[in-house]
Amino acid sequence: MSLTRDDLKALDKADPLAKFADEFHLPDGMIYLDGNSLGAMPKAAKARALEVIEQEWGEDLIKSWNKAGWFELVEKLGNKTAKLLGANDGEVIYADATGLNVYKLVAAALDLRKDKKKIVMEGSNFPTNNYMVQGLIKQLDRGHEITFAEDGEIMDAITDDVAVVCLTHVHYKTGHLHDMAAITKKAHDVGALVVWDLCHSAGALPVDLNGCNVDFALGCTYKYLNGGPGSQSFMFVAKRHQGVAMQPLTGWWGHDLPFGFERDYRPRKDIRQFSTGTEPIVSLAMSEVGLDIFLRADMNEIRKKSLKLCDLYIQLIEERLDGYDFEIVTPREHDKRGSQVSISSKNGFPIMQAVIDAGVIGDFRAPDIMRFGFTPLYVSYVNVWDAVERLVQIMETNAWDKPEFKQVGTVT
């Protein structure tokens, strides 16, 4: 028997996470399935920003570095994030942007494996990771090379000569979820280190970094964690590597005595060595608001709802859009996917434009992928129904086949 809108309404009524939706702002009538690109705004973010701007900057000025804890914020937020990632206090810090943190962590890992030159990465990954590591090894000029492997080839690519495996946990385009435990174990078995990019998994599903014995990880906060546009990245460095692994972008915030103003760099021996310098405080402070919501939610419930939202979306697409040129490229198996559904279609570009025009926000990734992200804290089951309904209408009326649906700009 086919699903009905009432079935989905009933799921919303029973949803233990439904109460969180009210903590986010979304425009009237919009169905927002792009929280995997830019998370929705927590309503409390505005008050926090105003507190930083009016009180901490405006009134307290320079005193806020101490009084408001600006200098410590990178660690405070790190400790909160650690709770979502199976990490401990003092293992996570906020700093800079995702790409820079890929650079730092891969450089630190390579430095611990000087005798090996191979780095395993996924060629189809969001490219900034590849670009940063390409920049790094070009700069080092010591014979390092990247082995690009796609899903299915990765385990075999992790051979004895591999120094570092640097992968993104959930694939930005397909939504494929790598097996962190198995890949990390294989890497360690051959003497390699791992750097996991959690951009599409932090806040989307339970992550157990220490349970998987991960060495290094990083991620962004502006997707599932709702930190605001371009909010800073976090890094995880396992305790056992701290004071041993050293990143090369050695700014004063990573110095052992930052206010000693010594001439020569002396590294801190803890997570703070991975920070660089002064962070944009307003953006940084706002990202705490999103974290605080997550700390009140149950990550297992989030995962359960995420899988169900995606399952229902897939089911409805198949039930109601059979016969159209749609191929669901996201794996069906729960343990092989994150919190998005990606559909390939040769007309994906104008179709996604028409979908957006109809108030359902997803995005398009060249050459043919329509991405829909499901963020359980503010996406409802009825949203799933309505999103499919609008797509059905677009397809049945050929509403996508119009010249105006030709250009979009999207940022992962």
- Asked if residue 50 binds a copy of itself (CB under 8 A), the reply is yes
Sheet with 145-148: strands ordered across: 92-94, 234-237, 216-219, 193-197, 162-168, 118-121, 145-148
Q: Please tell me whether residue 16 binds a copy of itself under the rule CB under 8 A.
A: no
* Alpha-carbon Rg for the chain in angstroms: 22
Q: Per the structure block, which two tokens stand in for 272?
A: 């703070």
Q: Which of 96, 197, 363, 386 is catalytic?
A: 197
Of 284, 282, 194, whose CA–CA distance to 234 is shortest? 284
Return the bridge partners of 217, or none.
196, 236
The rounded distance, in Å, linking the Cα atoms of 194 and 192 is 7
Which residues in 268-287 contact a copy of itself (CB under 8 A)? 276-284, 286
> Whole-angstrom Cα distance, residue 97 to residue 62?
25
Point out which span in 31-39, 155-163, 335-343, 398-406 binds a copy of itself (CB under 8 A). Answer: 31-39
Query: Which residue in the set 2, 13, 406, 411 belongs to the binding site for a copy of itself (CB under 8 A)?
Result: 411
Q: Copy the structure tokens of residue 307.
A: 């899988």
Is residue 380 part of the contact set for a copy of itself (CB under 8 A)?
A: no
- In Å, the largest CA–CA distance within the chain is 73
Active-site annotation holds for 197: yes
Q: Torsion angle, CA of 215/219/225/228, rounded to 10 degrees?
A: 150
Nearest-approach distance from CB 403 to a copy of itself, in angstroms: 18
Using CB under 8 A as the binding rule, the residues of this chain from 231 to 250 that contact a copy of itself are 231-232, 248-250
Catalytic residue list contains 142: no
378 sits near a copy of itself (criterion: CB under 8 A): no
By beta-carbon proximity to a copy of itself, the closer residue of 11 and 351 is 351
Shortest spacing between CB 386 and a copy of itself, in angstroms:
17
Please give the torsion angle defined by the CA atoms of residues 45, 46, 51 and 53, in that order, rounded to the nearest 10 degrees: 110
Catalytic residue among 223, 268, 272, 337: 223
Residues 93-132 that bind a copy of itself (CB under 8 A): 96-100, 103, 107, 123-124, 126-128, 130-132
Distance from C-alpha of 164 to C-alpha of 37, rounded to nearest angstrom = 27
Respond yes or no: is residue 48 known to be catalytic.
no
303 is catalytic: no
Instruction: Kindly state whether residue 46 participates in binding a copy of itself, applying the rule CB under 8 A.
Output: yes
Catalytic (active site) residue 9: no
By CB under 8 A, residue 61 contacts a copy of itself: yes
261 binds a copy of itself (CB under 8 A): yes
Rounded to whole angstroms, the Cα distance separating 255 from 263 reads 11
Active site residues: 126, 197, 222-223, 371
